[in-house]
Every structure is written in structure tokens, then in C-alpha cells.
Structure 1
Amino acid sequence: MKFIISLCFVLFCHQAFANVRISGELVGFGSAKGIVVYLPVGGYANGWHRTIYPVIDNKIDIDFNIPSPVFIKINVGGIRNIFVLARPGDDIKFKLLDTNDKYNSLKFEGSNAAGQYWYNLYNIHPLDNRIRHGELMTAILDKNKDITLKKLGGFINSQTLPLDSLYKEKKIDAEFYKLAKTDIRSMHVYNMVQEISMLQDKIDDRERIIRNQIIINALNAFAGPENMANTKAYFGKQFLGSYYTPELAANKKASKSNTYELGPYNGLLLAPDSMKSTLLGDILLFQQTDGSSEFEFDKAYAQFKIDFPKSPYIPLINSLRAGGATLSITNNIDFIVDTASNFSSVEDLKKHFKGKNVYIDLWATWCVPCRMEFPAYDLIKTDLKKNNINCVYISIDKLQAKPSWKDMVVKSHLEGYHILANDKLKADIKKLVYKNGQVSIPRYILLNKTGRIISLDAPRPSSLKLVKMLNEL
């Protein structure tokens, strides 16, 4: 497959940058053509902008510059995330084996190898980390909030005991220890706060609501909403985004002026000035790469450039707006805007695409995981064309969202047919795909040339399993 690499971008900053090299080998991933890497922006973790590196002879080489230690995320074929804590000057090597043995599937050499291995093993199945949260949530029923906090905090601290041991044995350095511990704390606090907040909506007892809010506040303080280490850690940034909410902005409205008008992200304006630039830069980068229209980008970006003229996000965003630092794909987009007279059922789709294989992508403009899959289509473009497969993107947005839907499709450079589903098509999809149960997206459906349903739950575009399925049609 011809592979197109993202254009490199140059970040201008007064900090001293040093090169990092990460080399990897994929064993048993025969169909892997490329991997997705979330390169840091400046010295900050990045969860939005993807850079795609080719896999040549099962090997990958990643080079970038950073001014300070930072976590990066590498996604292999939509199957496995690898987290690497990189320091200026590091030379890190990893080997990933295609095996169900999670304890022996990933090996590291180089800087903090023992810590890199432990951290990835801990995060290989994220839900495993929360396995005791349900049990711990019973602790909030205790009338003594101090006892509740002791139980919750004790659990979080217990999760980093292996990390403590590695540090004492001098198998990891202080920088790795600090960032990894910060990230794990933030991960658990984020999930616990989300769970307690959901319980709050079901409680009528005002005294209990107040007590639970005190617990939420204490947990948030424990994770450190003003701790700059969170901006360098992948889950730490997720915690910051959940802490600086619109509700927080509303409660402290009088203390901060809003010159950005960031809509659902106004709470970010309450972050300390030291971390505000990266949090605001993140959300601007997200809207630019994602194609969403959740706030007025031009106005917010103009203010950002005034407030943070030396931000490393500026050259990156400018490059994106100019058409650089992105995958180069064609803009051949067929729009089917009015679906009322065209498609009212999946059977209508089968008739229209008779004689062609069809890969259906069910999504919505508000679904972040859906939109995060869009760049992966470039990796399978050749396989789609070779097997005469038509991509059909069906949005389940409300019809009133047509302008933002069309705008997002254009900005995402998605080749294929685009349908904004009417009520009849939505109902038919719900009946056929979800058996009239809960609708969850993203969801993918594969049909062959005769209209036979190959899969009602096909692999995602980023999954190596999809390429195999496409080539077997």
C-alpha cells in the first residue's frame, strides 16, 4: 500500500529542545501499514492531533524534539495503545508481539524500560484499573466523609505501590516516577468523580449531596488541578479537561472575564496562567483537526494569539489551516444531503449499491470516538478501492444539524457517500442493528455485492482486522 506520511511541523519555542528517538518492531502484525502517534506539542501531551508513521519491514522509527519529559501515545492498528514516557535525548526501543499473552506481548529496552513495561501493563485493559470502583463507591455512604476519603485515597495510593518499588530499586528515574504517579492518580480521580457525579443526579437528600460534593472537591484537589505535571501526562490532561468545566466557570463567573467565548469549554479559562496556554491550545487544535463547530474558532484563536504569542500551538494550527501537517487525501466527496426521498431503510441502501461492497460508518457530529476514526480511512484507502468497496457515512444527527454536519464532513476530507439519516432510516437501523435496544456509536456494517450482511458489527477503520475482512470479500 502506498503510504502517505504527515508533513512534519516546526515548533518555535525559546526552550531548549533535544531529540528523542523511539524505534519499534511489530511481530505478527503482517498487515500493519502504519501506526498513529500523538506527538507532544511543545512539552505537553497531545491527545488530538495524529501523525502517521509508516511500518517498513515490520519496523517503525519515530523522531521528535521535546524540551522536557512527556508522555506520548502510540496506537497500533486500532488494537493496542502503547504509552511511552520520553525525555530529551532518550533512545527507546520496544517490540510488540501479536499474542493474547498480555504479560509477554510488549518488551522495552532503553530509558526506564522497567517502568515503561509496568505502566503499559497497567493500562493494557483500562477497565481493569476500575474493577474495584463499584465496591469503593459504597464508601461514600459512610456519614463520616473522612473515612470515605481515607478509603478512596488508600485505594489510589495502593495502585502505585509497584511504581514506588521500581523507584526505590533505582530501575526508574525521578522524572518517570513523578509523571507516571501523577497520571495514575489523575486517571482514578477522573473516573471516581464521574461515578460520584452520576450518583448525585439520583439523590434527593440535600445533606448527602453536599457531603458528596465535599468528597468530589477533595478528590479533585488530590489529583492536582494546578499541577503542571498533568499537562505532560495523557490521562492527566483528561482530568484537567473534566475539572475545568462550564459549571465551574458559571460558579466563578464574576472572577474571570470571557474574551474567548468557548461555549462548553469556558471552564478552561479558570486554569492557572501557567497551564492555560496548553489547555486552550488543545481545544483549538481539537476543533481545527476534528471539524466540529462548538465555538467560534476565529474569534477564540485571534485572542489566543494575542495572549500567548509564543505558544507552540500557533505554528501547528497555522500549518493545519494552510493545509499542511495533515494526511494528503483527495477531496472527492459525494453528498446525499436530502435523504427523505432517497433512503428510508437499509434495504434502500442495498438496492442503490447493488453489485458493490459497502462499508457503512454510523456516526454523529457530537461523537468524539467516531470522529477520531476518520484519519484511519487513509490507511485503508487502497484496500477499499481494490475490493470495490463504497464507504457510506450515515450520521444520526438531528436534521437541524445539517450545516454543522456538512461542514464537518468537508473538513474531515472523507471520500464516499454521506447521508444525514431521516427518522425512518434511523428507526430501521435501530431495529436491524441494535434490535431496538440502546444505540451506540461508532458502529460499522459491512455488506457484500449481493446485499448480504457480512457483519453488523464490523471492525473499525483503524483495526488491522478490517483489512483482513475486506480482502476476504
Structure 2
Amino acid sequence: MILQQLILSVLIVGLVSCQSGKNKIVISGTIKGENPGKIEYTNPINGTCNWWFTKSIEPDSLGNFKINIKSDIPLFLKLRTTYKKQGTIIVEPGKQYKLIFDTSKEKNVLSVTDESSVIQKAYGKFPNPFHIQDGAREFLRDSLASRIKNTIEQRKTREIAEIEKHFSQNTISEDVFNLIKTDRECYYDAVLATTAWIKKMMEMQGRKNSFNPDFEQLWYDAFRPALFKKPEIINTQWFNFYTECYIYFQEYKNGNFTKDKLEELRNLDNTITYRVEKSKEYLPAEFCENYLAHYLYEKCFQKKYEKELIGLFNDFKTNYPESEYNFYISPLIDEIVKFHKTADLDFHENIHFVDEYENINTLSELAGTFTEGKIYVDVWATWCGPCKAEFEHKEELKRMLNKYNIPVLYISIDREKNSERWKNMIKHYELEGYHVRANKELAEELRKIFDKNGSLSIPWYILIDAEGTILNKRASRPSNLSALEKEINEK
């Protein structure tokens, strides 16, 4: 009996070991060039490939690193050292991969050196933009929907034929073939849908003939049939873009994608809740966890601190209590909770609002509220992520400006309806200095100052004097204090 139990235990251990080996993926890499100290890679939750959800690894002193992943299906995996230095590889269960990450290059930083290099290079030649709108941009000036569709169909057919050639030569498995084929279908259908969607938005903004019946048909064609019948769609790089386009399309079909409807939605306090409910209504249930996690994370990451996100995330956790996504979203929700607790507190004594700022129409008028000297102006908005990222350097900025007796003037270009959020955000980030929310006239003048064509990009920093004279129209950011201090001393 004891012998039988021992034999059974050995068999079980052997079986488990064999199974764990089958779903193990090992990626061995070497850094060529400067060692970045850290490499991020997409965490394939449910087989997805999404930059919102990452893990990281530190190369050793020689630049070597190893990534171990478990999966029962082929995956796309993205790796990066910086925003610009990134690459994509295709991996499948039970295999090992060798790659070189060349940080000295500006493009094509990732190269695979194992036997899979043929398919990796083939896929690497296909369009792989950072955002789907980058892929659609070349078609936005074209007024012929039929020409756009034909161009995209030709490209898609050519790329799929290239993958079919490798499949027929047995250089890739059927699972890898299906993954890449679905990826190409998903990408090009998303490009078609995005082009039609943007054309519709252009029409709503007053550009006549942007969205004619042919572009409406193009939108319909992009989702006929929808790719949701293919389980591999979740594992493509374009799943979230495609899904988002599909939700817009369904809203259009149901009469909710009009200028009046969208404006009405923007004025509601539960726009995110509306979108979540529509996602559940339009999408197959098996795709909701992945898309909703992406959507909630993205909204939290924008740091507008909408209170409704707290309840929506609680619902998500109830529906998906074991979801790996909860680990990533939870800290962002904690920050939102903290933000709303801060909103109940008083303003810090060193936070000042310029008297009657609502009636100040020009930068000169605004500068005149200061007695003398130079003023460092920070033009920002509550919806601007890079603006808020610069607030991390506010303490160093304050110490440096205090040496020269220079105050900070924060000008928000938020709309009046966001006035409460603007003030709460000032509290949350403890922005000591002077504050103004630009009225329509001041905002218009700022656009003219920034660019004669009327555009404005933020965050934007200006150095002026108390008479309103612009000393430096493009002053350096708080994150570049050494350059800013040099500019101050030059004026």
C-alpha cells in the first residue's frame, strides 16, 4: 500500500511538472548600449497585451535579463525602457526566446535572435502604431470612402497572405497563425471604424460633407461581421481600440451619437457610469472584464478624480473578485478617495485666489495685480495629465523661485462647470501661489499669445513682469529647474 502511494505521488509530481513546462514561456535578453536599470513588459492578464498593466525586471550589471511567463495560448508581449524605445514580440507556450534590446537605437530597438526570428521580423514590418488614431490619420483628408476601404483591404490581404505563407511552410503553428491573422483583421477594421468615427466628429464640429452616406456605410462595413466571435481578439494588440470603436458605432446606430446627445452627456455627473453600462449592454459578457478594467484604469489615470469611479470599481470587484486587474486599479482608487477627503478641508494659507479673477480679460490686467518683479506663470487644466505630473516638482520650484522673490501664478483654462474640481485639485496638490481660472476673453488671448493660429498646448510656462511684458514665452518646466533658473538670470 505504501509503495502504491509512493508511485502515485511520483506520477502526480511528474504530471504537474510536465504540465507546468508546457505553459512556461522563457525570454532571455541582453541590453546593448546603456543599461536602463529597468525593463517594463506587458503583464498578459487573460492573454491581453496592454501597456496599462505591466511588470518590470532589472537587468544585471552585464545587461542580461530573463522574463518567465505562464500561458496556455500564444501572446503578444511588449517591452520598453522608455516611451520611445519599445518593441513587440510574439511568444507561445513551452518555448524559449532570445532577444537583444539595443538602447543606442532610436527605432527597431528589439531584435529576436532565436529560430522564431523569421516570423518576428515579418510581423515587425506590419503597421504597429502607438494609438489607432495614428493609423487612421493618413485617411482623414481623403473624401472617397471607397478608396480608403480598397486601400485598407489590399494591405490587410497582403499581410495575411504573408502570414499564410509562413503557416504553409510550417514555420509557425496554427494557433500563432490565427492570432496574427485576427490581429491584422482587428487592426484594419479598427482603422476603418476610427476613420468613420472621426469623420462624423468633424461633421458635428461644422465641417460640411465630412461624413457622407459612403462613410456611414464604411462604419457599418467595419463591423460586418464583428470579430467578437473570434476568441483570439482579446489577445490582439488592438482589442481595446476595436472595442471602443464598436461602442461608438452602437451608440450611432441607436441615435445617441449626435452633437446634442453628446453635449447632454458631457453635462451629466455620471458620464463614466453611462459608458460602463453601455459597454455591458453592447459587448459579449466574456470580453467585459478586460475592456472595463482598461476603461476604469484609463479614467483613473487621467486624474480627474471623478467620485463615481469609486462605486464603479467596487462593482467591478464584486463581479470579478479574483481579477488580476484589481491590483493595478486599487491604488488609483485610493488616491481618488483621498482627493475627496481633501476637498472637505480648508485652503492652505499660502494659496491665494486673485481678486475678481472672473472679470480679468488680459494677461496685462492680471499681471497688474502684482506690485513688481517677475512672475512665473503655469497654464494648466484639471484634465491635463502632464500638467499634474509637473506638480511633483512644486517644492523644488518654490525653493528656487523664493531665492529671486518670484511668485507662481497658476492659470487654469478649465470651463466654468469644472470650477469646483479646479479648486479641489488646488487643495489636493497643495499648489501654493496665486490662482486664476481664465474667463473666455483671457483664454482666447492666451491662445493668441501661444500661437497666432489660435492653438494652445499645455502645460505651458511663461515668464512675465508686473507690467505684463512677456520675458520668456516658452519658459522651462519645473522638472527642468536648472534651465529655468538660467532663463530667470538672463532676463
TM bucket, shorter chain: 0.5 to 0.7
Aligned to 1:243: 246
1:140/1:309 CA distance change after superposition, 3 Å = same
* One-letter identity of the residue aligned with 1:371: G
State the alpha-carbon separation in 2 of the partners of residues 44 and 452 from structure 1.
50
State the alpha-carbon separation in 2 of the partners of residues 34 and 388 from structure 1.
34
**Matching of residues 388-427 of structure 1 within 5 Å:** 395-405=412-422, 421-423=437-439, 425-427=442-444
Structure 1: which 5+ residue stretches go unaligned? 1-14, 142-147, 254-258, 324-332
* One-letter identity of the residue aligned with 1:238: F
Q: Does 1:300 align with 2:307?
A: no
Aligned to 2:279: 268
Report SS of the residue matched to 1:95: strand
Instruction: Give yes or no for contact 1:27–1:98 (8 Å, CA) kept in 2.
Output: yes
Report SS of the residue matched to 1:94: strand
Paired residue for 2:89, among 58, 74, 84?
Answer: 84
Instruction: Give yes or no for contact 2:145–2:215 (8 Å, CA) kept in 1.
Output: no
Encode CA deviations 1:404-433: one digit per residue, 9 max, x unaligned. Answer: 34566788x798879564136533431222
Encode CA deviations 1:172-211: one digit per residue, 9 max, x unaligned. Answer: 44444433333333233223222223445367799x63x5
Aligned to 2:50: 46
For residue 273 of structure 1, report the CA deviation from its aligned partner: 1.1
State the alpha-carbon separation in 2 of the partners of residues 61 and 307 from structure 1.
37
1:420/1:22 CA distance change after superposition, 3 Å = farther
1:194/1:76 CA distance change after superposition, 3 Å = same
Q: Does 1:155 align with 2:171?
A: no
Normalising by structure 2, we get a TM-score of 0.63
Paired residue for 1:224, among 223, 227, 232?
Answer: 227
Give % identity.
Answer: 14
1:361/1:42 CA distance change after superposition, 3 Å = farther
Instruction: Give yes or no for contact 2:186–2:236 (8 Å, CA) kept in 1.
Output: no
Paired residue for 1:108, among 109, 112, 115?
Answer: 112
For residue 39 of structure 1, report the CA deviation from its aligned partner: 3.1
Paired residue for 1:453, among 472, 482, 485?
Answer: 472
Instruction: Give yes or no for contact 1:36–1:53 (8 Å, CA) kept in 2.
Output: yes
More moved, 213-222 vs 385-394: 385-394
Aligned to 1:27: 33
Normalising by structure 1, we get a TM-score of 0.65
State the alpha-carbon separation in 1 of the partners of residues 408 and 109 from structure 2.
33
RMSD: 5.3
1:183/1:107 CA distance change after superposition, 3 Å = same
Structure 2: which 5+ residue stretches go unaligned? 1-18, 257-269, 336-346
State the alpha-carbon separation in 2 of the partners of residues 223 and 435 from structure 1.
45
* One-letter identity of the residue aligned with 2:455: Q
1:271/1:96 CA distance change after superposition, 3 Å = same
Q: Which has the higher contact order (CA 8 A, sep 6+)?
A: 1
1:303/1:151 CA distance change after superposition, 3 Å = same
For residue 280 of structure 1, report the CA deviation from its aligned partner: 1.6
Paired residue for 2:449, among 422, 432, 447?
Answer: 432
Report SS of the residue matched to 2:99: strand
Q: How many residues align?
A: 421
Encode CA deviations 1:434-462: one digit per residue, 9 max, x unaligned. Answer: 224233x4555486999853847x7998x
State the alpha-carbon separation in 1 of the partners of residues 56 and 471 from structure 2.
34
For residue 243 of structure 1, report the CA deviation from its aligned partner: 0.9
Aligned to 2:363: 345
Encode CA deviations 1:125-164: one digit per residue, 9 max, x unaligned. Answer: 66885586368752438xxxxxx86664233222444444
Q: Does 1:193 align with 2:199?
A: no
For residue 240 of structure 1, report the CA deviation from its aligned partner: 0.9
Encode CA deviations 1:286-338: one digit per residue, 9 max, x unaligned. Answer: 33343335672233233333333333223443455457xxxxxxxxx988573
1:355/1:130 CA distance change after superposition, 3 Å = same
Structure with higher Rg: it is 2
Paired residue for 1:140, among 126, 143, 146?
Answer: 146
Aligned to 1:6: none
Report SS of the residue matched to 1:243: helix
1:250/1:214 CA distance change after superposition, 3 Å = closer
State the alpha-carbon separation in 1 of the partners of residues 66 and 409 from structure 2.
33
Aligned to 1:234: 237
For residue 116 of structure 1, report the CA deviation from its aligned partner: 3.6
Instruction: Give yes or no for contact 2:394–2:431 (8 Å, CA) kept in 1.
Output: no
State the alpha-carbon separation in 2 of the partners of residues 386 and 232 from structure 1.
49
Report SS of the residue matched to 2:353: coil
Aligned to 2:14: none
* One-letter identity of the residue aligned with 2:237: Y
1:159/1:472 CA distance change after superposition, 3 Å = farther
